[in-house]
Amino acid sequence: MALTSSLCYFPPITIHSYSCSFPISIFSNLRTQIQSSSSSTNICTQNIDTSLITIAESFYEDELWAASSLRVRSFNQFRPDTFGLQDHARYLAEREFEALKERISGKKMGFRRVSCINASLPMSHISTLYADLCSSCKFSASGEDRIVVGSLDLNQCLNLPDEIVGMKPKVSGVDITRAYLSNVCVASELHRNGLAYALLEKSKLVARNWGITDLYVHVAVDNEAAKKLYMKSGFVYESDEPAWQARFLDRPRRLLLWMGLSVT
Ligand SMILES: CC(=O)SCCNC(=O)CCNC(=O)[C@H](O)C(C)(C)COP(=O)(O)OP(=O)(O)OC[C@H]1O[C@@H](n2cnc3c(N)ncnc32)[C@H](O)[C@@H]1OP(=O)(O)O
């Protein structure tokens, strides 16, 4: 959806985060698309007032659905003329939605806890020109229609399936103090407004509160936008995936980035 910034009006942004304190397992439905997706295409550079961003946690299903839809539209490059496109996107969103609920409910083995952190803003303040964003990423909170415009997961666990394993902390006690970020995305209409950076800052706060000392993220080697985002946020290179493994998994090679957190 290519729109010029002169046609857009952007209001205060709100960031919501979902979290739970149960063991949890991450789904892997979108991982391939997620980390191989290049975000170098910026559709709109409209400025927004990030000082008005707020942060909240929720378990509401309609917001999880909106976040799932945002992930599908962010990590897939659909051709508009594809037959059955809407049905396919809905199918992917349903898979993501179910997997997201499962992670948050703590039903999978190997994961201590997951928080899904979302950025949202009131629908009344989004340009009607963004019809697709409004229709697919809408949810209601306290009688107000809102749009999820950014999302990520924070996963407290030792490793993610099919991913390079972080090496820190070297000694792991009973409590897992390692976490990974995943599913980091922002609506293309709002790229380059500092939303992803704000989501990362929130995730660091949540991680510190959980007692996380070592935060990791995987990123495809060709995803320049995401690599710059993580570097700006304080992540540094730790290791990279062997080429054979990426070939075996039929995806772009990943880097593993690390950040140390001081626990509050
Ligand atoms: C673990 C994972 O999930 S990896 C997958 C990452 N997600 C994706 O690839 C999905 C598609 N891409 C996106 O959703 C977005 O482009 C994101 C999440 C990568 C960035 O979201 P945005 O809200 O646009 O980023 P934000 O505005 O916070 O930018 C912060 C910094 O990231 C870097 N950055 C972000 N986008 C770009 C870009 N297109 N080109 C170069 N640098 C970029 C810049 O350093 C930027 O700081 P600056 O604006 O001061 O230069």
Q: Which residues contact 150 (CB under 8 A, 6 or more apart)?
A: 15, 70, 118, 119, 185, 186, 187, 190, 195, 196, 198, 199
Res 3: pLDDT: 30
Domain extent, residue 56, equals 5-260
Q: Is 230 a catalytic residue?
A: yes
Distances (CA, A) of 54 to 15, 100, 199: 5, 22, 10
CATH number at residue 202: 3.40.630.30
Given this model, what pLDDT does residue 126 score?
73
Q: How many domains does the chain have?
A: 1
**226 touches ligand 1 (CB under 6 Å):** yes
Instruction: Please report the pLDDT score of residue 72 as a whole number.
Output: 96
Ligand 1 near 39 CB (within 6 A): yes
Mean local confidence (pLDDT), 115-128: 85
More confident residue, 79 or 213: 213
What is the reported pLDDT for 56?
57
pLDDT digits (tens, 9 = 90+) for 188-243: 988 998 899 999 999 999 999 999 999 999 999 999 999 999 999 999 999 999 99
Task: State the average pLDDT for the chain.
Answer: 81
Q: Which atom of ligand 1 is nearest to the CA of 230?
A: 32
Can you tell me which atom of ligand 1 is nearest the CA of 229? 32
Q: Rounded to whole angstroms, how far apart are CA atoms 149 and 172?
A: 36
Q: List pLDDT tens digits, range 152-167.
A: 999 999 999 999 999 9
